[in-house]
Structure 1
């Protein structure tokens, strides 16, 4: 008669690795010899020595399938501040590292020449306005030609447009913050001549942070806007990760990496999270409530598929029964299971590991013992 060889399991919780999900199948776990015959249910009873075995009870737990990745932090908004017109810097109104409000003035460019041009344009406009009024009066008395009237209208419109243009250029001599944020180092000083190509400083909105990372294509079906994530910097000693959620999933997959770009928000980042840092990400792919679970070491793999060995009482003796199961989520040393063609009950005892090398077959007499502490899985 075929038997299952069980060896003491030195199981540890899955380490979180980049691109590896904690919900992968447990089919590759050791625990049985490939191709050994498994009997469903009881099989032959009695005979043989009583085998001491370590057991655990089936339990229902909430399982969370996560994916561990690495990403990069970025500001909510970031802008390099430049002037829109050329000129000499007359005054600077910000300090490096200062927080600015939207619309707050950063610097002033000398505007003396523009103001003189504006005064000149205003004088021309007033003259054009008077000429248009005279042309309208003469037009009513039919003492001027239509061409004279049209010319006066054109000069008035041109003068009005020139005034508007100069006022816009004058406004641009005041460089203001486009949004609220932290200003960086300044690269200019009063008296410098700057152009539109001159970088004045940078402005970063750090009210929340973005996190940019790549998700392999096999997991993209479980990632969407609103998917929860946790972030911990790679150099951080704290065990309290910042929480956020996905807001963007690129619809195009990179052909070379077979992954897609995903972005998330951290709405209330702690002070030790800085834009530009690399960070470890734990992406929550799925949450399963009240899943029936066993330790990974309890799963046996045979030609008939995964099985567990339960402890049943028959004729006053505790015997082994092989139960075929379907596997679900796997996380932190636990596997979600469901019976194939039968029922499994919470608190039912399952063989977790053997004491020494054991030969267990359907109907083998068992001596259940609590699983050793070093092999137990934390709830």
Structure 2
């Protein structure tokens, strides 16, 4: 055998041995999950679980609202004229009927004096004509003419007094008067704002609730609310609801009243409202982090036989940490609470901690 042939045979033998060794190593590596990177199905997922049990739960509505004054009006003059007297201080309390401002009424007062003089004259004439009529010295027609003049004068006086009263602007209710928009000597008309009066003790809290709860809310129910920028919680009482549900928003407007004796809650403030509804004695509650939102609803993973089993659920109300489950779970079910994002259907589980819902 030549030297060349021997060399070729040696190379072929070395190549064959190398191929066999490589194949064995590659096959073993492929079978080892730690090396092959087989994914979550090839490894156990470490999770914390939560055992479902029924507990008492009060259904609550959390929403936002606005504070309204009990009463509010913008003062305007019903007659045109020059402001002759201002009798209020900005930001002060006023009482119902208190005189606040006077518009020049000298011309109307002069007309009133003239009409009153005419009325006296017609009254004297009517009395004389009545005496003459009783003695048949004049006809009934002559008496009626004077009587009508007296009635007309009396009606004109009443009309002018009504107009003259409009020159004196008075507070329509007890409240606080705001910033003045006119000065003495200003000319005002019906379009001229003078000042704003608001009654802020009590105040109203207006908010909306989903229409599906409209039958659960009634007059006398209590709410709690907090004003923006303040941690203080206040309690108010529902006194009225809108009789219809808004077809655009599918919500119903509700108003509650708060006494606001210290006037700490200001109208116009943004508030957060909590309204407690009927308490459910045996509700299914689970931690919010155990729920996976999906396009078709919500899902959790059950821990059954050491494996992850997906389960669709229907949710209800929620608190800060818990959420009510209306359908899909039963007492005694064990759900994955922590590690839910690593779980896959059928994945093997290693349970680290068990928490009971009771």
Give the match for residue 317 of structure 2. 330
CA distance in structure 2 between the partners assigned to 1:138 and 1:65 by the alignment: 84
Q: What's the CA shift for 1:351? A: 4.9
Give the conservation status (yes or no) of the 8 Å contact 1:186–1:200: yes
CA distance in structure 2 between the partners assigned to 1:55 and 1:214 by the alignment: 35
Over 3 Å counting, the alpha-carbon distance change for 1:57 and 1:122 in structure 2 is same
* Partner of residue 120 from structure 1, selected from 91, 109, 114: 114
Larger Rg: 2
Over 3 Å counting, the alpha-carbon distance change for 1:110 and 1:222 in structure 2 is same
**Greater displacement, 58-67 / 94-103:** 58-67
* Partner of residue 74 from structure 2, selected from 58, 76, 80: 80
Give the conservation status (yes or no) of the 8 Å contact 2:176–2:197: yes
Give the conservation status (yes or no) of the 8 Å contact 1:310–1:351: yes
Q: What's the CA shift for 1:67? A: 3.7
**Greater displacement, 138-147 / 91-100:** 138-147
Structure ranking higher on relative contact order (CA contacts 8 Å, 6+ apart): 1
Q: Counterpart of 1:61 in 2: which secondary structure?
A: strand
CA distance in structure 2 between the partners assigned to 1:276 and 1:335 by the alignment: 33
Q: What's the CA shift for 1:79? A: 0.9
Q: What's the CA shift for 1:91? A: 1.6
Give the match for residue 63 of structure 1. 58
CA distance in structure 1 between the partners assigned to 2:254 and 2:330 by the alignment: 43
* Partner of residue 231 from structure 2, selected from 238, 248, 254: 238
Give the conservation status (yes or no) of the 8 Å contact 2:210–2:252: no
Q: What's the CA shift for 1:168? A: 2.4
Over 3 Å counting, the alpha-carbon distance change for 1:129 and 1:353 in structure 2 is closer
Residues 89-100 of structure 1 aligned to structure 2 (within 5 Å): 89-100=83-94
Over 3 Å counting, the alpha-carbon distance change for 1:170 and 1:339 in structure 2 is closer
CA RMSD of aligned residues (A): 4.5
Over 3 Å counting, the alpha-carbon distance change for 1:218 and 1:351 in structure 2 is closer
CA distance in structure 2 between the partners assigned to 1:98 and 1:141 by the alignment: 65
Task: Determine if the alignment matches structure 1 residue 268 to structure 2 residue 259.
Answer: yes
Greater helix content = 2
CA distance in structure 1 between the partners assigned to 2:354 and 2:236 by the alignment: 38
Residues 125-164 of structure 1 aligned to structure 2 (within 5 Å): 125-164=119-158
C-alpha distance after superposition, 1:277-301 (max 9, x if no partner): 3x24335373324235343566799
Q: TM-score, normalised by structure 2?
A: 0.67
Q: What's the CA shift for 1:271? A: 4.4
Q: What's the CA shift for 1:113? A: 2.9
CA distance in structure 2 between the partners assigned to 1:349 and 1:237 by the alignment: 42
The total of aligned residue pairs comes to: 310
Task: Determine if the alignment matches structure 1 residue 170 to structure 2 residue 164.
Answer: yes
CA distance in structure 2 between the partners assigned to 1:129 and 1:179 by the alignment: 39
Give the conservation status (yes or no) of the 8 Å contact 1:224–1:249: no
Q: Counterpart of 1:80 in 2: which secondary structure?
A: strand
Q: What's the CA shift for 1:156? A: 1.2
Over 3 Å counting, the alpha-carbon distance change for 1:189 and 1:338 in structure 2 is closer
